[in-house]
Structure 1
Amino acid sequence: MSSDSESLSDDDQMSSSKATGINGHPNGFKADSSPLSEDDDMPLKQQTLPPRRNLKRKKSSYADSSSEDDMPLASSPAKQSNSATIAMPGAAAATTVPTSMLPKSQRLAKMEESDDEEVVKKPQKKKPARKKVKKEDSSSEDDEPIAVSKASARKRKVKEESDVDYSSDEQKPMVSKKQVPKKAKKELPETPVPKAKANGKAKAKDKDGAEEEGKGKGKKKKKKEEEEEEVYRWWEAGDANGDGSAKWQTLEHNGVIFPPPYESLPSHVKMKYDGKDVSLPPESEEVAGFYGALIESDHAKDATFNKNFFNDWMGVLKKYPPLNGLKITSFDKCDFRPMFDYFESEKAKKKAMTSAEKKELKKAKDEMEAKYITCLLDGRKEKVGNFRVEPPGLFRGRGEHPKKGSLKHRVRPDDIILNIGKDAPIPVPNMPGKWKSIQHDNTVTWLATWTENINQSHKYVFLAAGSSLKGQSDMMKFEKARELKSHVDRIRANYSGDLRSKVMAERQRATAMYFIDKLALRAGNEKGEDEADTVGCCSLRCEHVTLESPNFIIFDFLGKDSIRYYNRVTVDAQIFKNIRIFKENKVDDDSLFDRVTTASLNKHLNSEMKGLTAKVFRTYNASATFQRLLDESDLEGATLQEKLNAYNKANRMVAILCNHQRSVPKTHDQSMEKMRQKYKGLKYDRMKLRYGLFGVDSKYKKMDKYKEDESDIDDDWIVEYEEQAKEKEIEKAEKKFVKENEKLAEDDVKPQPASILQERIKAIEDEFKRLAKERGKTTAAVKGNKTPEKLMESIDKLTERIKSFKLQMVDRDEGKEVALGTSKINYLDPRITASWCKIHEVPIEKLFSKTLQVKFPWAMEVDTEWKF
């Protein structure tokens, strides 16, 4: 299969079992037919706006103004702003770390500067024995807080961990659950160490203090820890302001990695035209394959998508026509299903690969990409972000983009400009060609750039999110938002006064600032005819704003990414009056703020506070609101899940404020059903524990705490659940058996006979036969001769877990239409989360994935007193 086909996401490639229609679509969709409406399935805020009406707006009969003084004079001279600009406070103080966490050299320097007459003791050669602390009993590693690393001048070992999602902490039902032994860990006196994996081997110290790893799965951990990387703590180095014009002194990197060339499909795989096979040259076949892989997706049901694809494909066919002379002129006669079926079969083969084969492929891929992952910035190794050039394909776009379905061309070396140090060697591209140009600009932070052909937008390669340059940029952004706290009252007073200005431009600007401040609207920019019709505050048209007496304004427009913004808000009387004035003698297509542009608005904001833009207002309001909502939550005595729900609720409120909406995921209902089944499975486990307790001693039946039954579990569900559980256990045993034999084969050891697997399956079947006999009874057998106390402890723990899981279900369902990640990454100061987690003893990994922890290392060290 071609590599370009592989690049298509699984979401866009659904399995096919339907009858073939026109173009290979199961429903025989035609290009010139209208797109299927999805409004019925979409939440209100995602529905597409109706077509614009180019009609004259009738003059509304509102109550006459109490005073004609409110009518602005367009020709009046502009007022001089008397607002003062206050310099931004330094960010270093906000992230100052304790002296104990500084490198040794810095600690000594600080001690010498102090007036205290303390003697600096020499470190002892022999360290005192460290206490072994037993790992807390926990069903998941998600409960383990991240260790705050001690600053060190030497290189440190970095352990890679996978992202943690508290909602996906799946556990097997009791019928086959095995207890995982807990491992002991060593704890340093000052710096806590992350807890060991439950299935890993405990570390041991030898006489010289060297760490020794256990065998088995510990090898992988050891290999990762041996890869030492220098951790540059730029926020402690005194250069966190990043306001100098030169961003770096030396820069060396290996450029970008291009996708592999297209590989032609096998000779028997051909698309059809009017029922006949079409032999296409590779250039035309590649583009046809882009569409063929999508015929079962929603994209192929969209008329605009189909039209743009066919137009661009026809342009390719003119240069590279079919080899067998067929003339393709009608989209409706094209059948791409043979291509789709081939791609699906290749995907199935890939999924069926053994783990050893997958490891080999991944190893080869990692080796090929190794040199592109990092660069040398001022002599330090830093990770590069998006070093892979996007492969060619069909442009998807977001929302109702007019160019969706258009062909994205293959990017080549002669399209790319590299930015690199003057003395650095010029990298050689991994495909034929020469770079477009080489430059040595140390005032910018990008490593490579090119222009894509769809929207003529510029693409850049930057350092990774956790790099020093990106971290400095993030920190400065949030510090600028914090600085606005000192100016916001004055700025609000200024624009409130301008709401009655005699100058139309000033009155419009003040009204726009009111919306940006109070509703967190984006500023917005003018769009061309070939771009999606999305607007922001400054580019609102009269059709987007409706007045409703006495003081309501209804906003209805497509915002960023074509997400519908619909909001009915109560406004001040003067704002209502201003909008009425701005709309007079205008039609729906006319601009509401015809005297204001994004550039002029930001220029005015900069005069109010240096560096202030409309986006800073958005960041400030999001973070300030988030801090307030978290502070208002009463979490005394709350469980961990209740704390997480309170945090996510505050996050949702901010996401709604910023209009970070999303359509309900297609898999939401399926996901919720799985959670409901798991919820019932937990209650089934509790029921079995209760019955086990009753079997040990019947007196517990009379206790109120244990006599309450699981009312939503009936006999029919139990039969179905146990049958499904048995099938899963047998499947799990079979997979384990195959993996064990693969491992033995790798070690040149004779594989286990099939009789071993049969014995395991028989043991599983016998266990479920025993469970079947217990149906309808109020007593059950207990494994391991557990005491009543142990059983009661297990029941109590499971009861708490059931409550916690129910809260997870509520949280998942309430967040189905809100994108929490956008605000968490871009608008919420990460120090709010870090401080809140320390106050309420919530592990940071419950809220920040490993990616975010790497992105915001400077925020992880704030204390519990920090506030936005």
Structure 2
Amino acid sequence: MNDEEQEIEYKWWLEQKSDTSVKWQTLSHKGVVFPPPYVPHNIPLVYSGQKLLLEPPAEEIASYFAQMLDTDYMKNPVFIKNFFREFQIILRECSSRHTIEEFSKCDFTLMYEHFQRIKEQKKAMTKEEKDKLKKEKEAIKASYGVAFLDGRKEKVGNYTIEPPGLFRGRGEHPKTGCYKRRVQPEDVTINIGKDAQIPEPPAGHHWKNVIHDSTVSWLAMWKDNVNDNFKYVFLAPGSSLKGQSDMKKYEMARNLKGCVDSIRKTYTADLRNKDMAIRQRATALYLIDKLALRAGNEKSDDEADTVGCCSLRYEHVSTEEPNILVFDFLGKDSVRYFNAVPVDDQVFKNIKIFKRPPKTHNDDLFDRLNTTVLNKHLQSLMPGLTAKVFRTFNASITFQDELRKHTPKDGTLQEKLSAYDKANRRVAELCNHQKGVGKSHESQMEKMQDKVLSLKYLRRRYIEQLRQVEPKMKRKKAELFEADPELTDDWILKYEIAITKKDRERIVNKFDKENAERKQNKEKALLKSDLKERLGEVIAKEKLLEKGKIPSVKDFPPMKRNATADKLLEYIAKTDDRIKTAKLQMEDKDENKTMALNTSRLNYLDPRITIAWCKTFNVPVAKRFSATQREKFRWAMDVDPDWEF
């Protein structure tokens, strides 16, 4: 058994550890991989009509901007303003001989065209060139992509240092366009076992620090210059440490189930407390519990104006009689949270009190509460309890309840999957896990609609054949022969032209392949007349289509040769099932277009709920979790079908 097989066999979740503060006894790894150094291309920036060759540091940041000329970031004035300010800083730092003072006079087109050519060159790479690159990446992964934790081989997640570039940010981030500078070894702290060999930094460099802290699970860290926060290298999602962290998170949320009723009883009573600080705390806890709001942390002025429950301001919540609260604010990642919800009468009354004059725009709604105070109170109710635990608990319990309500026991596989997506969507809505509609969504929907119509057309062809085989069937099963309004002659004509073209290409390609093999074997080549014979049906069909006529069952051999009426009815029934499945997939795709289901499924929903559901309803786990996700949640795979959150 090799190291990887041994690791797969290691079921850490069956062990009982009393001390979870110590993450490891021994730890060794190779460190981190740095992006390759910048290589100047000497393509000029055009400024006020003049071509300027920039110094390498200035050329580098200009290149990152040039590569984004065809993106929506060019429509974002904040992105452009931040980039240009950073660009000017770099020009000063490298004592540039050029004076560039107005963005409107800058033309990055020559650089953009240079990078477009590089893109095309990459697309045109030969298989040998691609294989060479692949082998180089695999060699790096073999060295840096593994660590040894307590003697066991574990995969490392993000072992490559983030490359420099322009910060994008999510939503309306105020720092979008800022320059993410190149991380140097001198910025990086390595965490490793005391007796392990310390990784060698790149030649001529040294690490910022080397520590041996077994109470943390990260292998390396550095500070991000844009947002002033720390970035870490961790083990892969499927590692024992990450699995333990996930399991602990869900077990904590699961434990809340045993005391949530008493907690709700307490905060409900506190909604009327004479002490306004306690009343605010109870009201905030009600909102966190019922609406799955994040707690919200204090932010500095240069951070995105995103808020959570404790940091809600006067303007973020409005009241509508008799008991409706209207929330409108930017949440995490600057995603808008807009929700109008009926609330407990006392909560409604409290919010009106918290908004009384002299409070006005920009004033805190909960002026006597912050996340520190709230979390300290939660800890007193249950050890380890935080607002996030509440959020995870409500997400998982809601998901489990929705699955039970909507999964059809005797439904088709697609009906069960649709019920799962519906439950997942309910949680994503609860947690405000939104995303923008993808650029390709419309074209994907068109393809799915074409699939539905192609199946309907197949069904129609079977019915035409059935009428030929059993003419009386039209009277016996009149509903089968009813026209489908979606299946228009125009669509059928376009479809027949498309599949006839594919049929021609398939026959010609097969003919060419056979001739190539004959040539290699020094055999006599097939003649053009042979090809024409093979294309007989296709040519006849093409002639009909050129006249705008739709081929019928009389014109060509039937869909299923020698099929009986009963067999054709069976084919029609199976096609009906396929149409139903395709329609459900299409509906799910459209309903999920603005919901980030993966965010909920992978971060807030106990995976054991999904595994138990799959086992109960005979759904392959692979239909809900990818191979990577199944590895991440190995610890959840052994649960019984009747497991409950």
TM-score (norm 1): 0.69
Is residue 845 from structure 1 mapped to residue 619 from structure 2 by the alignment?
A: no
| Change beyond 3 A, Cα 1:668–1:394 | same
Specify the SS of the correspondent of 1:592.
coil
The aligned amino acid for 2:305 is D
* Cα distance, 1:696 vs structure 2: 5.0
2:232 aligned counterpart, secondary structure: strand
Q: Could you tell me which of 413, 420, 425 is aligned with 1:652? A: 425
Mapped pair 1:555 → 2:327: yes
Structure 2 equivalent of residue 205 of structure 1: none
2:344 pairs, out of 568, 572, 588, with 572
Residues 1:255 and 2:31 aligned together? yes
Q: Does 1:674 align with 2:447?
A: yes
Q: Which of 538, 557, 566 in structure 2 is aligned with 1:768?
A: 538
Give the distance between the partners of 1:856 and 1:760, measured in 2 at CA: 57
How far apart, in 1, do the equivalents of 2:530 and 2:11 lie?
56
Corresponding position: 1:800 with 2:563: no
User: What residue number does 1:521 align with?
Assistant: 293
Distance in 2 (alpha carbons) for counterparts of 1:377 and 1:752: 61
Structure 1 residue 843: Cα displacement: 1.0
Paired residue for 1:583, among 328, 332, 355? 355
CA displacement, residues 51-104 of structure 1 (integer Å, 9 cap, x when unaligned): xxxxxxxxxxxxxxxxxxxxxxxxxxxxxxxxxxxxxxxxxxxxxxxxxxxxxx
1:16-56 per-position Cα deviation (integer Å, ceiling 9, x unaligned): xxxxxxxxxxxxxxxxxxxxxxxxxxxxxxxxxxxxxxxxx
Give the fraction of aligned pairs with identical amino acids, expressed as a percent.
Answer: 52
* 8 A Cα contact 2:511 2:531, kept in partner: no
Look up the match of 1:814.
Answer: 591
Shift of 1:764: 8.1
| 1:482–1:702 CA distance, 2 compared to 1 (3 A) | same
**Contact 1:733/1:757 (<8 A) preserved:** no
Residues 297-312 of structure 1 correspond to what in structure 2 (within 5 A)? 297-312=71-86
Q: Does structure 1 conserve the Cα–Cα contact (< 8 Å) formed by 2:7 and 2:154?
A: no
Asked if residue 538 in structure 1 is aligned to residue 314 in structure 2, the reply is: no
- Deviation of residue 476 (structure 1)? 0.9
How far apart, CA to CA, are the structure 2 residues paired with 1:599 and 1:449?
26
Q: For the Cα contact (< 8 Å) 2:318–2:325, is it kept in 1?
A: yes
The verdict on how the C-alpha distance between 1:305 and 1:736 changes in structure 2, with shifts beyond 3 A counting, is farther
Among 609, 612, 625, the alignment partner of 1:832 is 609
The range that moved more, 725-734 or 513-522, is 725-734
- Higher mean C-alpha displacement, 511-520 vs 726-735: 726-735
Check whether the contact 1:730–1:764 (CA below 8 A) recurs between aligned residues.
Answer: no
Closer/same/farther in 2, CA of residues 442 and 262 from structure 1, 3 Å limit? same
1:257–1:429 contact (8 Å) kept in structure 2: no
User: CA 1:714–1:577 in structure 2 vs 1: closer, same or farther (change >3 Å)?
Assistant: closer
- Name the counterpart of 2:22: 246
**Is 1:713–2:487 an aligned residue pair?**
yes
Matched residue SS, 1:381: strand
**1:270 matched residue in structure 2:** 44
CA positional deviation for 1:861: 1.3
Q: CA deviation at 1:759?
A: 9.6
User: Which residue in the other structure is 1:454 paired with?
Assistant: 226
CA distance in 2, matches of 1:864, 1:836: 7
Distance 2:631 2:337 in 1: 33
SS of the aligned residue for 2:84 comes to helix
SS in structure 1 opposite 2:8? coil
What residue in structure 2 maps to residue 348 of structure 1? 120
Shift of 1:691: 3.4
Offset of residue 352 of structure 1: 3.0
Distance 1:757 1:378, change over 3 A: farther
Query: In structure 2, do the counterparts of structure 1 residues 242 and 444 end up closer, same or farther at CA, with 3 Å as the change threshold?
Result: farther
Distance in 2 separating the partners of 1:557 and 1:274: 42
Whether 2:520 is the aligned partner of 1:723: answer no
Check 1:248–1:757 CA distance in 2 against 1; reply closer, same or farther (3 A cut): farther
Partner in structure 2 of residue 624 of structure 1: 397
Structure 1 residue 850: deviation in Å?
1.6
Q: SS of the residue aligned with 1:272?
A: strand
| 8 Å contact from structure 2 (residues 270, 278) kept in 1 | yes
Q: Quote the offset at 1:349 in angstroms.
A: 2.7
State whether residues 242 and 473 of structure 1, in contact with CA within 8 Å, keep that contact through their aligned partners in structure 2: no
| 2:557 alignment counterpart | 781
Whole-Å separation in 2 of the counterparts to 1:757 and 1:447: 67
Distance 1:250 1:866 in 2: 35
Greater relative CO (CA pairs within 8 A, separation 6+): 1
Q: Which residue of 2 aligns with 1:18?
A: none
Instruction: Identify the match of residue 439 of structure 1 among 207, 211, 223.
Output: 211
Q: Which amino acid aligns with 1:278?
A: L
CA contact (8 A) 1:421 1:440 kept: yes
Choose from 143, 147, 170 the match for 1:375: 147
8 Å Cα contact 1:729-1:764 kept in structure 2:
no
Supply the distance in 2 between the matched residues of 1:756 and 1:354 (Cα, whole angstroms): 31
Distance in 1 (CA, whole Å) between partners of 2:306 and 2:149 is 39
Q: Does 2:600 match 1:823?
A: yes
Q: Aligned residue pairs: how many?
A: 635
Deviation at 1:552, TM superposition (A): 1.6
Q: Alignment partner of 1:557: what SS?
A: strand
Residues 371/430 of structure 1: CA separation in 2 closer, same or farther (3 Å cut): farther
Unaligned runs of 5+ in 2: none
Given the alignment of the two structures, is residue 604 of structure 1 paired with residue 377 of structure 2, yes or no? yes
Counting only pairs closer than 5 Å after superposition, residues 452-531 of structure 1 correspond to structure 2 as: 452-531=224-303
Q: AA paired with 1:849?
A: S
Q: Is the 8 A contact 2:189 2:222 kept in 1?
A: yes
How far, CA to CA, are the matches of 2:155 and 2:66 in structure 1?
Answer: 36
Equivalent position SS for 1:403: coil
- Find the residue that maps to 1:456 and give its secondary structure: coil
Distance change in 2, residues 1:741/1:612 (3 Å) = farther
Offset at residue 438 of structure 1 (A): 0.8
Coordinate RMSD, CA, aligned: 3.0
What's 1:313 paired with? 87
Q: State the secondary structure of the residue aligned to 2:558.
A: coil
> Do 1:733 and 1:760's aligned partners in 2 also have CA atoms closer than 8 Å?
no
Q: Secondary structure of 1:231's match?
A: helix
Alpha-carbon distance change, 727 to 262 in structure 1, aligned in 2, over 3 angstroms: farther
Answer whether contact 2:462 2:559 (CA < 8 A) is retained.
no
Q: Measure how far apart 1:694 and its partner are.
A: 4.4
Matched, 1:296 2:70: yes
CA contact 2:507–2:534 (8 Å) conserved in 1: no
CA distance in 1, matches of 2:443, 2:81: 33
In 2, the alpha carbon distance for the partners of 1:629 and 1:752 equals 67
Note the C-alpha offset of 1:703: 4.9
CA distance in 1, matches of 2:522, 2:623: 41
Change (3 A) 1:412 1:590: same
- Over residues 230-252 of structure 1, what are the superposed CA-to-partner deviations in whole Å (9 max), with x where a residue is unaligned? 3143345414x574321111111
Structure 2 residue 630 is matched with structure 1 residue 865? no
Structure 2 counterpart of 1:233, which letter?
Y
Q: Report the CA distance shift for 1:415/1:577 in structure 2 as closer, same or farther (over 3 A).
A: same
Q: Take 1:589 and 1:401, find their aligned partners in 2: how far apart are those partners?
A: 19
1:279 aligned onto 2:49? no
Deviation at 1:663, TM superposition (A): 2.1
Return the offset for 1:697. 5.3
How far apart, in 2, do the equivalents of 1:632 and 1:812 lie?
21
SS in 2 for 1:567: strand
**Counterpart secondary structure, 2:396:** helix
Structure 1 position 502, deviation (Å)? 1.7
AA aligned to 1:775 is I
Q: Displacement, 1:587?
A: 1.5
Q: Which amino acid aligns with 2:141?
A: E
Question: How many Å separate the matches in 1 of 2:405 and 2:103?
Answer: 59
Q: Contact conserved, 1:253 with 1:372, CA < 8 A, in 2? A: yes
Q: Partner residue of 2:132?
A: 360
CA spacing shift, 1:565–1:757, aligned 2, 3 Å: farther
CA distance in 2, matches of 1:610, 1:410: 42
Write out per-residue CA displacement over residues 817-849 of structure 1, whole angstroms, 9 at most, x where no aligned residue.
111111101111111111111111111111112
- TM-score after normalising by structure 2: 0.92
